[in-house]
Structure formats: structure tokens, C-alpha cells
Amino acid sequence: MLKRISSATIFVLACALAVGAFQSAEWIKFSPVGAGFSVLMPAKPAEEIKSSDDFTSHLFSITTDKAIYLAGYGEYAPSIKLSADAELTLNRDKFLKGLNANLLASKQITLDGRPGLEFTGESEQASFKSRVYLSGNRVYQVAVAVLNGKTDYENVDRFFASFAFPNSESHAKP
């Protein structure tokens, strides 16, 4: 019954496409209207919107020569009642399963009082890091897939450190 952001689709498709060369030192602050978050990205990302009767997701992604960056959110209908722990865990598990990835580590986190889950995983194609947050009936996810044989530690750290909710100066706390 519960639906999660299907970011696995974005990663699989992006890995199959020719990898773009968006390796710019100057990242942009991306704050989609109505999304309720901001994040630094290497360039303006592509958007994908999916809707059903009780869930709408917005995914924003950009591919560089080393990694795929993803930020998104999904909104459940007001009639859907969510359990934070269950939703975060199911989101993590579905994300990794969709990528045929194994879970390496997982821990609970918070950002501005919103419960979250940070996890890492690995597949034959890439290493993954993601953070998922729940706020009411809205789930947020930021994730990076670093392609095997590549490293991009500095940009991955920049991406995750930059994610923020409006009117918020703090960042994710491990």
C-alpha cells in the first residue's frame, strides 16, 4: 500500500545513458518551487514527476562523469497515516532492491527535528549513499551513486552538507 520514491529508476536509467561531463567547480543552489528544500547540485537537474491516487513524487537528477546526484520528495495523500520508522526503513529497502544493491550501513539521523535514515549500499555498477527524511506526509530523499572505479568524495560531501529545509541553517546530524 505504501509507495516510496522510485529513485532506483532514475539511477538505473542514468547509468545506462552515456555519462555527461558536468564537472564544474561552481555548483548551483537548487530550490525547486514548492519542494520545501534546497541543495547544491553540479548543474540544473532534470525533473521527473509521477502521480497516483495517493502519492506524487518529484525527482531531480544530474549525471557527472563520476556520479549521479538525486534529490526528491514525495507527498502522500492526507488520508495515509505513516509510521516514521517503518516508512524510512521501507524506503531504504526498496531503493536498494531496485538497484540490486547490498546494504552496507544504516543509521538514524535527524535534520531540524525531522526523523531520517542515512544508509550506504553497493552494487556491481556503483556505491550509493542516501539520506531519507520524513515530515508529516512528505518524504524527502537525497542520494548519490558514485560509479565503480571513480571517486568523488569532495563533491559527495558538498552535496549532502548543502541539503537544507527552508529557514534552516543546520545540516544533517549523524
Instruction: Evaluate whether residue 2 is within a structural domain.
Output: no
- Distances in Å between the alpha carbon of 76 and those of 17, 83, 130? 31, 12, 20
Gap between the Cα atoms of 62 and 152, Å rounded? 14
Q: Is 77 left (phi over 0), alpha (psi -120 to 50) or beta?
A: beta
pLDDT for the residue numbered 17: 40
Q: Quick one: cell of 128?
A: 550509493
The SS3 call for residue 127 is strand
Residue 14 pLDDT exceeds 90: no
Q: How many CB atoms lie within 10 A of CB 32?
A: 16
Instruction: Evaluate whether residue 167 is within a structural domain.
Output: no
Instruction: Evaluate whether residue 41 is within a structural domain.
Output: yes
Gap between the Cα atoms of 40 and 144, Å rounded? 13
**Contact residues for 42 (Cβ-Cβ < 8 A; gap 6+):** 22, 23, 24, 27, 28, 62, 64, 69, 155
Range of the domain at 105: 7-162
pLDDT tens digits, one per residue of 52-102? 999 999 999 999 999 999 999 999 999 999 999 999 999 999 999 999 999
Q: Is the pTM of this model over 0.85?
A: no
CATH number, domain of 37, equals 3.40.1000
Counted domains in the chain:
1
Instruction: Evaluate whether residue 95 is within a structural domain.
Output: yes
Q: Of the ranges 79-83, 127-131, 151-155, 164-168, which one carries the lowest mean pLDDT score? A: 164-168
Instruction: Evaluate whether residue 125 is within a structural domain.
Output: yes
The answer to whether 128 touches 143, Cβ cutoff 8 Å, is yes
pLDDT for the residue numbered 166: 85
Instruction: Evaluate whether residue 20 is within a structural domain.
Output: yes
pLDDT for the residue numbered 22: 42
Q: Of the ranges 16-25, 81-90, 157-166, which one carries the lowest mean pLDDT score? A: 16-25
Instruction: Evaluate whether residue 59 is within a structural domain.
Output: yes
Average pLDDT over residues 123-151: 96
Instruction: Evaluate whether residue 1 is within a structural domain.
Output: no
